[in-house]
């Protein structure tokens, strides 16, 4: 579905809605609607076969008014400059909504990692980071994991930057393995933040999550952890999916078993037999209380928004709902917790990781989790208050807070020179 939707246009529309509420100065609106820096690189990698392939990659920095830019690196065959720019812009608002001192960035490489060996993946990563090294760094722009990348990829990034500097630079990337300066709780952070946002939203609409039926699209880092934590909290996960397709069992799915025995297999979680097989689009329309899209952008659009049965949609993914879908779901009385709030847990703990790396002083997992939950609850409370004050949907409320913080920083700093 995502290929039919221009996600950068979508991001600009969302900004325009907030600009209207904030009565934003048109000049300032222009600044915030534009990425401050877009780097496109085409780089060669010698494959195991000896053949040379050229890959296309991007690093986009949207805005650095509030601090160094921060954002994940995505490896996926469908990425492009526009999508990467949208993702960078969303990172700016996300960091501002949870009030951490970062601007937004994003990187991506157009690649199907399933076609590469580990050695090829390592070479691709090291060459990509070398080619964007003039714009990234521990004080300027700090990458992190996203779709198709993981702690091992972050370790190669840290090593590459360190080799070039001549000394170890743990703070140049987050989401690293713990023994290389990673933070306790980072792997689970986005999923934990999603579940914290869901719990707060359940209070807003008086939903009892104990026994609630939950559907999760995407069973990677974000989706699997969110499903597992929600199940631990007493909910029943009735449907999950990955890129291959979905499975459904109204009595509940065993998340731990799915994660440890089925995810990562060629046939994906569909190889689990005690469930009905369904498509990714049917999965979204299942009868459930909470829907957590945690895969890719533009999954809920004007074509399927009126078929969503969940009462609460918590966006684990970035940009899973289009503006038209938002309107349809809002009119139906569905509460949507937007990505820039719901999935901010990842960047919050990335921020903790960076702070720990800069200080060479590491925290215990409980401390990380408690600080994360406190920030998520506080951010949710502010957004909920703005939603009531402005009588809007929750995305607009989150934008009002995020965009205002970035706009205020820009005004206070002034436009150079």
Which stretches of the chain bind ligand NAD, using CB under 6 A? 145-148, 190, 217-223, 241-243, 280, 294-296, 316-318, 343, 346
For ligand NAD, give the closer residue by CB, 19 or 347. 347
Strand-strand pairing, 246-248 and 276-278: antiparallel
Strand-strand pairing, 236-241 and 246-248: antiparallel
Do residues 110 and 56 touch, judged by C-beta distance below 8 A? yes
Residue 310: how many other CB atoms lie within 10 Å: 23
Q: Is the dihedral of CA 240, 279, 283, 327 positive or negative?
A: positive
The residue number with the shortest CB distance to ligand NAD is 220
Q: How far is the CB of 147 from ligand NAD (least distance, A)?
A: 4
DSSP H or E stretch at residue 386: helix 365-390
Q: How far is the CB of 163 from ligand NAD (least distance, A)?
A: 25
Report the first-to-last Cα separation within the chain, whole angstroms.
43
Torsion (CA) 41, 47, 53, 59 in degrees, nearest 10 = -20
Please, which residues have CB within 8 angstroms of residue 161's CB and are 6 or more apart in sequence?
A: 129, 133, 136, 137, 169, 172, 173
Q: How far is the CB of 295 from ligand NAD (least distance, A)?
A: 3
DSSP string spanning 259-309? IIIITTSTTGGGG--SSEEE-HHHHHTSS-SEEEE-S-S--B-TTTGGG--
Six-digit token pair at 339? 């990505």
**Coil, helix or strand for 188?**
helix
Q: Count of alpha carbons within 13 Å of 104, Cβ hemisphere only? A: 26
Q: How far is the CB of 190 from ligand NAD (least distance, A)?
A: 4
For ligand NAD, give the closer residue by CB, 148 or 171. 148
Q: How many whole angstroms separate alpha carbon 403 and alpha carbon 96? A: 7
For ligand NAD, give the closer residue by CB, 96 or 407. 96
Selected catalytic residue, list 70, 94, 106, 123:
106
Do residues 185 and 267 touch, judged by C-beta distance below 8 A? no
For ligand NAD, give the closer residue by CB, 235 or 294. 294
For ligand NAD, give the closer residue by CB, 19 or 73. 73
Residue 203: how many other CB atoms lie within 10 Å: 11
The residue behind tokens 């469930």 is: 275
Six-digit token pair at 8? 């950068």
Q: How far is the CB of 372 from ligand NAD (least distance, A)?
A: 12
For ligand NAD, give the closer residue by CB, 169 or 317. 317
Q: How far is the CB of 207 from ligand NAD (least distance, A)?
A: 23
For ligand NAD, give the closer residue by CB, 35 or 223. 223
DSSP string spanning 47-100? -TTS-EEEEEEEEEEEE-TTSSEEEEEEEETT--HHHHHHHHHHHHHHHHHTT-
Please, which residues have CB within 8 angstroms of residue 80's CB and are 6 or more apart in sequence?
A: 58, 110
Q: For this structure, is 106 an active site residue? A: yes
Q: How far is the CB of 221 from ligand NAD (least distance, A)?
A: 4
For ligand NAD, give the closer residue by CB, 116 or 407. 116
Q: How far is the CB of 289 from ligand NAD (least distance, A)?
A: 21
Catalytic residues: 106
């Amino acid at each position: 579905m995502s290929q039919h939707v221009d996600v950068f246009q979508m991001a600009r529309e969302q900004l325009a809605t907030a600009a209207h509420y904030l009565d934003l100065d048109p000049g300032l609106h222009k600044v915030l609607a534009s990425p401050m820096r877009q780097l496109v690189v085409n780089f060669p990698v010698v494959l195991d076969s000896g053949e040379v392939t050229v890959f296309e990659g991007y690093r986009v920095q949207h805005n650095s008014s509030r601090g160094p830019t921060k954002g994940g690196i995505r490896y996926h065959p469908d990425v492009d400059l526009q999508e990467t720019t949208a993702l960078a812009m969303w990172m700016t608002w996300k960091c501002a909504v949870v009030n951490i001192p970062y601007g937004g960035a994003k990187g991506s490489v157009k690649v199907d990692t399933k076609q590469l060996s580990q050695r090829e993946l390592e070479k691709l990563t090291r060459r990509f980071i070398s080619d964007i090294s003039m714009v990234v760094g521990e004080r300027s722009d700090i990458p992190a994991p996203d779709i198709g990348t993981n702690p091992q990829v972050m370790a190669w990034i840290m090593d590459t930057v360190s080799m070039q500097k001549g000394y170890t630079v743990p703070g140049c990337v987050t989401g690293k393995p713990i023994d290389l300066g990673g933070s306790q709780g980072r792997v689970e952070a986005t999923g934990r933040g999603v579940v914290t946002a869901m719990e707060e939203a359940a209070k807003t609409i008086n939903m009892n999550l104990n026994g609630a039926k939950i559907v999760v699209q995407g069973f990677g880092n974000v989706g699997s952890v969110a499903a597992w934590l929600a199940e631990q909290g007493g909910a029943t996960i009735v449907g999950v999916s990955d890129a291959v397709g979905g499975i459904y069992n109204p009595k509940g799915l065993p998340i731990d078993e799915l994660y440890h025995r089925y995810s990562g297999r060629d046939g994906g979680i569909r190889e689990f037999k005690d469930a009905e097989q369904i498509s990714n689009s049917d999965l979204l329309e299942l009868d459930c209380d909470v829907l957590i899209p945690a895969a890719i952008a533009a999954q809920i659009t004007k074509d399927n928004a009126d078929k969503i049965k969940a009462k609460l949609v918590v966006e684990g993914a970035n940009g899973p709902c289009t503006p038209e879908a938002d309107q349809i779901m809002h009119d139906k009385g569905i509460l949507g917790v937007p990505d820039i709030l719901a999935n901010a847990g990842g960047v919050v703990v990335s921020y903790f990781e960076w702070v720990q790396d800069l200080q060479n002083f590491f925290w215990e997992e409980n401390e990380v989790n408690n600080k994360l939950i406190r920030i998520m609850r506080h951010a949710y409370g502010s957004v909920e208050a703005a939603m009531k004050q402005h009588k809007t949907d929750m995305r607009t409320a989150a934008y009002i807070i995020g965009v205002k913080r970035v706009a205020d920083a820009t005004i206070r700093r002034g436009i150079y020179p």
